[in-house]
Amino acid sequence: MSETPVTSATHSRRGRIRRLVSTACAALLAVTVTAPASTAHADAAGTRPVITANQTGTHDGYFYAYWKDMGDSTMVLGHQGQYSARWTGINNWFGGKGWATGGRRTFDYCGTFHPGGNSYLALFGYTTNPLTEYYIVENWGTYRPTGTPMGTVVSEGGTYDIYRAQLGVGSTPYFRYYSVRQQKRSAGTIDTGDHFDAWAQAGMRLGTTMGYMIMATEGYQSSGWSQVTVDGTPTGPARCAPSRT
């Protein structure tokens, strides 16, 4: 993420997406990734893993991912789909919980999001063949993501603006797709199929192989904190009461 999407974001994200793809492709073969003891430890209560270094893995039934380049960021993994995050003076970081393989899915989420600058609360995922990043942005801080306007999509009580941005340099450029909600929210229902279909109708094709998909907090040259719960279980008691506004 960046105040100028085609400049610093291109460089900071390019390194991340290369590492992300190589790491997550391994995760598709062996979903659980064990972090070194020095980079994942329990909180004071001894029950919640504290993540401070780049890794992916599974925790209490959900996939998680964490990445940063420079700065101070911490993600604490709570029960099932819950996590909390805090970042201070970060250059670029993201983390969250979701699924090892993305796809068409309807799920609820809820949380608290306090961006102290340029930050997103968004569903993040990617595909390969070809490489593509995608975001369904629910809330943001001082910068609302943009790109080439490609239309709108109405889904789960809200209207989203669709954008396409080309990233990368040389012979291996790739695309990032955005659906950005016109009204911010920090709780609700996301139907990824609505967005996938709208992107396809706009000529924005995803790759044939799905990588992971997480409800992410992301910060770029900012500070802030969040507490997020992903409620992706179709059976059992609901853990979120989504707001439609």
Catalytic residues: 133, 218
CA distances from 61 to 81, 83, 190, 229, 234 (A): 8, 13, 19, 13, 13
Q: d(Cα 178, Cα 119) in Å, to the nearest integer? A: 15
CA 203 to mean position of chain CA atoms: 23
- Residue 55: CA atoms inside 13 Å, Cβ hemisphere, count? 21
* Identity of the amino acid at 22: S
Q: d(Cα 217, Cα 92) in Å, to the nearest integer? A: 11
- Count other Cβ atoms within 10 Å, centred on residue 149: 11
| DSSP letter assigned to residue 79 | S
Q: d(Cα 63, Cα 33) in Å, to the nearest integer? A: 10
